[in-house]
Every structure is written in structure tokens, then in C-alpha cells.
Amino acid sequence: MSELILKNGRLITGEPCELTLCDGKIIQVARFIESNGRKTIDLQGKYLSAGWIDDHVHCYEKMKLYYDYPDEIGVSKGVTSVIDAGTTGAENIDDFYQIARKKKTNVFALLNISKCGIVAQNELADLSKIQEAKITQALKDYPDFIVGIKARMSQSVVGENGLTPLELAKKIQADNGQLPLMVHIGSAPPTLSKVLDTMKAGDVLTHCFNGKENGILDASTDQLKGFVWKAYQKGIIFDIGHGTDSFNFRVAEIALKEGMKACSISTDIYVRNRSNGPVFDLATTMEKLHAIGYSWKEILMKVTAAPAKNFHLTTKGQLHPGFDADITVFELINEDKKLTDSNGLTRVTHQQIKPIKTIIGGVVYDN
């Protein structure tokens, strides 16, 4: 395969950055690269970063409750990789894999600990659906596709089972080499304190800034709950997971004021909250974090290097030789835009981030 040179790009710091891509990999990174007659794309001063990764989406298109289409939320939105967060379980992961491998966007999966995935809201209310042997086999069958497991720990999902599904998830995790685990939080029971007590360093807590009573904020004091700080400090990964009902500006702002930032930024996107809001796409979620005070530099890290590390995507998330040629080219537009969270609260960003090109495995797609 011939080499491709990306000329006249710049990093978010303003530093010039040019890349040479070949055979799906980055082979050179420098301030200036001589083209020497090789195929060249002039980025005309636009920004570039490692390809954006959305580590919480729902994109198995055959589901009815939560579903979307990988390329509609991925390549067309500046996102080079998506991780489906538990839409499928051991009994339908094969079909999802067969569909996903035909997409332009890199698609990975977190396997729901329920064998059937999210076919209904209460997939963990019946413990007989949690079958470790089937999960272990699926992990063996799709080692490059399944990057972890998912347990949704809210009352509407677990029914009367309380903390038991999470305890079973932790056993499955331990029995399979401490693979990544993402835990969804919502309404109690189980209580957030019990969920966090069960989780360990490296586990991912998604929906970290939801506005629910069982969330991280003590409404009586407008401060973060003490046990939440202990969980954060012991290394539990706090992930945005915006979703239809799981991101609240005030909670995120109070957390930031107290010194707690999300570790990674994701959308929990599916077709309804993409089409009707409040999510729309990863860029909009990134704008929301910028509107409350996160810098673009740290936001970009939280959609590249951070999710790649959390889910062991060892060749993604960085602009270095040997890494995959997954790159997002974007611009910053100084124009006001009203943003709405999951609870109807609004903020205004004065600077928008707009993907221009999405490069996946060295193949260039215009946005």
C-alpha cells in the first residue's frame, strides 16, 4: 500500500504536526515531513488528534430497545472506534460481530452478563440468564471483538436481585484474567455506596454525573458524597455515559469545583437520543464538558488515550509510530451554541468542535 502524508496539521496545543500513514499504521510523526512525490492531503492548518473513541454506545441494529448503526455514530461523526456497552450477550454476540465487521467504523463490544443482552429493560432480574460458561466461551470465540463485560446496576434492571448480578460479574471478571468491567448506575436499590464498595480500581463506573438521588451528589448539602471520593481515589474510572437520563450539568459542575473530573467521555448514544437529543453525537458531549470548564486538551485525552487504556486497545488512542492510522481531523469554531443536558438544564458553549475528516486504518472519509 502506498504511503499517505498528512501535511499542515496541528495539535490542540498549536504545535505543527504532520503524519505519514502506510498499511493502516502511523509510521512517522513530525513537525515537518517532506512529501517527495508521495500522496499528500493538505490539512490547511486544521487540528488533528488520535481517532476519537466513544466507549459507551448501543449499536446492535437488530435490538428494539436501545440500538443504532455504527457508521451513523462513528465515522460520520468523527469517531473512529465505538464500544457497544452491553447491548448483546453471549447468545447474540455472534450476529452482532458478523454485522459489525462489515462497518467502516471500528466496532468493539462489552458483553452483557445477561446471555440475551438488553432485549428488555430488566435483563438482570432473572439470575438464570447469567451463565458464566457461555460468557467464557464467547470471550474465547471473539478475543479481538469483546473488550470487557457490562453489568447494569439499577433497580429497573436487577429487580429484586440487589447487588447479586454485580457480584457475579466480579467473579466472571476474576475468572477471565481481570478483563475490563463497566458498571451502569441508576436508581436504587442497589445503593451507589454498595456498588462502589464492590468495584475495584480499573473498573469503569458509567453515568458518573447523573442527577439522580442515587448519584454522586448529596442534594441536602450540594456536595459530593464522601464515599464517592473514596471510590474515585482508589482508582475506579468515572465515565460520562451521557445518555437520555444520565448527565446533569450541576452535578458535573459541582464535581469540577471540588476537584473531581470524569476520567473518560462517552455518549451512551442510540438512535432516539441521537435523532431527538439531548446527546446527538460525541462532539456535542465534548462541548458540554468544555462549556463547564474542561480544556480541549484534556477532553481530547478523555476520548482517545483514556478509553484506549481502560479497554486495552493497545494500538489506538495515540499519535505515535506503530499505532493504528485512526485520526480525527477537526476545527474549533468560535460561535455560541446552546447545549441541553439530560434533565433540561442548559449551558452555552462559546466554541464548537467540528470533525472535518475521519481517518480509519489510513482510509480517509470526509465529514
Known binding-site residues equal 56, 58, 150, 184, 207, 268
Interatomic CA distance for residues 102 and 143, integer angstroms: 17
DSSP track, 291-331:
HTT--HHHHHHTTTHHHHHHTT-TTSSS-STTSB--EEEEE
Q: Output the nine-digit C-alpha cell for 45.
A: 492548518
Angle at CA of residue 215, ends 65 and 242, nearest 5°: 45
Annotated binding site for Zn(2+): which residue ranges?
A: 56, 58, 150, 184, 207, 268
For residues 264 and 207, the answer to whether their CB atoms sit within 8 Å is: no
Strands of the sheet with 146-153, listed across from one edge = 52-57, 79-85, 106-112, 146-153, 181-185, 204-206, 237-239
β-strand pairing of 146-153 with 106-112: parallel
Which residue from 95, 167, 99, 102 is spatially nearest to 138, judged by alpha carbons?
Answer: 95
Interatomic CA distance for residues 185 and 217, integer angstroms: 13
Q: Alpha-carbon Rg of the chain, whole angstroms?
A: 20
